[in-house]
């Protein structure tokens, strides 16, 4: 007899306000930084949420650059660890959000910023002028979700071919893709090859999908 399989739902963990979360760490407690920001830019931070001792500041899109400049230049948050987009796919607009994980290397403090992005107007100011690390992350976010970054020097797709018509991490995109949207080499030996990854070796110009971004000294 096969064993009867059971499905266990994850138990609901009610919020315990007075109890200290065991996962709480001092490095994510940035109450003072958030307070400084709120005082310096009144109205720029729409909401601050705290969970497990982690502070998340919901920054308004139009004041993101101001807030990040202040964070980097006066508050010492010089290291952009991560930047990515999320398709929240929930009823209440806005649909997307972009989060930024920023670290102060001197004090070891971590701060998370979030920008809510509306589906109709999915544009966020680019942070490449402040943090060079934002470059490829913003390209990835644009590739996967279609959020455009205003002021990005080279906003091309990161992973998918440049003529790809969809943004695959949007929730409406089917997991198995859309048949025919990505070209394969021909099935017969004498068929013509459609993409030339080694065009530069024949002094041609490579297909755009294979082009590397220009280096600093180029």
Partner 1 sequence: MNSTTGYLTTTVDAVVNWARSNSLMPMPMGLACCAIEMMAFGGPKYDVGRFGSEAMRFSPRQADLMIIAGWCSYKMSHAIRRVWDQMADPKWCIAMGACASSGGMHRCYGVVQGVDNFMPVDVYIPGCPPRPEAVIHALMDIQEKIRNEYSVTQDYTSGQKEIVELSARPGSLTVEGRKVALDASSLADA
CB of 38 or CB of 209, closer to partner 1: 209
CB of 135 to partner 1, least distance (A): 20
Q: Which two tokens stand for residue 146?
A: 């279609």
CB of 178 or CB of 200, closer to partner 1: 178
Distance CA 71, CA 69 (A): 5
CB of 188 to partner 1, least distance (A): 4
Distance CA 88, CA 81 (A): 22
CB of 177 to partner 1, least distance (A): 3
Distance CA 110, CA 101 (A): 7
CB of 12 or CB of 175, closer to partner 1: 175
CB of 180 to partner 1, least distance (A): 11
How are beta strands 54-59 and 109-117 bridged, if at all?
parallel
CB of 124 to partner 1, least distance (A): 25
> Could you list the residues that contact partner 1 (CB under 8 A)?
159-161, 168, 173-178, 182-190, 193-198, 209
Distance CA 103, CA 116 (A): 21
CB of 97 to partner 1, least distance (A): 23
CB of 108 or CB of 197, closer to partner 1: 197
Give first-to-last CA distance, the chain, whole Å: 69
Largest CA distance in the chain: 72
Q: Which two tokens stand for residue 125?
A: 């100011």
CB of 34 or CB of 158, closer to partner 1: 158
Cβ atoms of 149 and 141 closer than 8 Å: yes
Distance of CA 176 to the CA centre of its chain: 22
Q: Is 27 helix (H, G, I), strand (E, B) or coil?
A: helix
Q: Apex CA 52: angle with CA 47 and CA 54, to 5°?
A: 50
CB of 15 or CB of 193, closer to partner 1: 193
């Amino acid at each position: 007899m096969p064993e009867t399989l059971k499905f266990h739902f994850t138990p609901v963990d009610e919020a315990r306000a007075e109890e200290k979360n065991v996962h709480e760490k001092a490095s994510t407690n940035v109450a003072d930084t958030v307070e400084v920001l709120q005082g310096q830019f009144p109205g720029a931070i729409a909401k601050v949420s705290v969970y497990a001792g982690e502070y998340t500041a919901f920054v308004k899109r139009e004041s993101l650059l101001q807030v990040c400049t202040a964070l980097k230049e006066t508050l010492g948050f010089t290291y952009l660890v991560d930047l990515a987009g999320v398709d929240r796919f929930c009823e209440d607009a806005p649909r997307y959000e972009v989060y930024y994980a920023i670290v102060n290397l001197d004090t070891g403090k971590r701060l998370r910023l979030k920008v809510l992005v509306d589906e109709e107007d999915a544009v966020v100011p680019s942070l490449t002028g402040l943090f060079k690390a934002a470059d490829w992350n913003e390209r990835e976010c644009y590739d996967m979700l279609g959020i455009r970054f205003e002021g990005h020097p080279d906003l091309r797709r990161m992973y998918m071919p440049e003529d790809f018509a969809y943004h695959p991490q949007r929730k409406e995109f089917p997991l198995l893709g859309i048949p025919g949207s990505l070209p394969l080499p021909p099935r017969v030996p004498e068929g013509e090859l459609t993409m030339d990854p080694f065009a530069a070796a024949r002094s041609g110009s490579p297909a755009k999908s294979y082009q590397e971004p220009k280096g600093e000294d180029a």
